[in-house]
Amino acid sequence: MIIPTRLPEYLVAALVIVLVPGPSVLFIIARAIAWGKKTALSTVLGNVSGTFTLASLIALGIGPILQRSNFAYLAVQYGGGLYLIYLGFSAIKHRVLHAEDMTIKIGEPPTLGQSIREGYWVGFLNPKAIVFYAGVIPQFIDRDRGQVTWQLFFLGFVFACVALIFDGTWGLIAGVARQWFATSQKRIENLRVSGGAIMIVLGLLVILSAIRQGMH
């Protein structure tokens, strides 16, 4: 079993990407505001399961390719970096959210199964997670040590653990402070702006890393 040597750096990158308010975080916050902590936390459980499924599929799909091809290894980093920049600008441009999605709802909340299922698909189809797994994680593996698929799988599992902790924290905070969040849509817009800016910076760093590796 090979543990990537850049694991500490990866943990920092994973923490940054988890804390950035992307589609999954905003969905969890919206559920917390609408229905409270219980619904938010069950949504987090489904969301993390969805992202880990995505990580496993990506590891199985691109792992063997990255191990054989230096071109593919650099290409996924360039592509991932550019798409992160795109997502960042898109988040800033479309920061105005529908107010009704961030309000306290009246009536029965979704069941535990519904919350987990809906969270799963948001996590599985989250474009930020797709880019992170396919375009960012590869720069933290040790290609020359082999077992690339296992390394990708391991780093995906680590990311899922980090997401479980901090997405759960988002859900708890939003559930406790649901009145505070719900009374000002501007606060949610500010989350999107800050998240977009961080994604742009992270995308640029990924591209710079790929350039450095391509020059060696």
pLDDT of residue 186: 73
| Distance in angstroms between the alpha carbons of the first and the last residue of the chain | 27
Q: Tell whether the torsion through CA atoms of 196, 117, 60 and 157 is positive or negative.
A: positive
Nearest-angstrom CA–CA distance, 154 and 19: 20
Q: What is the pLDDT of residues 184-210, one digit of tens each?
A: 667 667 766 777 787 788 778 878 877
Q: What is the pLDDT of residues 69-92, one digit of tens each?
A: 777 777 777 877 787 788 778 777
Sequence-ordered list of residues with C-beta below 8 angstroms from that of 63, at least 6 positions apart, any chain: 148, 149, 150, 151, 152, 153
Residue bearing tokens 């790929």:
210
pLDDT of residue 146: 75
> Quick one: which H or E segment has residue 183?
none
**Cα angle: 34, vertex 17, 206; to 5 degrees:** 150
Given a contact cutoff of 8 angstroms between Cβ atoms, the answer to whether 116 and 45 are in contact is: yes
Those residues of the chain that have pLDDT short of 70 are 66-67, 94-107, 178-179, 181-185, 187-188, 191-192, 214, 216
Nearest-angstrom CA–CA distance, 62 and 8: 23
Name the phi and psi angles at 3, rounded to 5. -100, 120
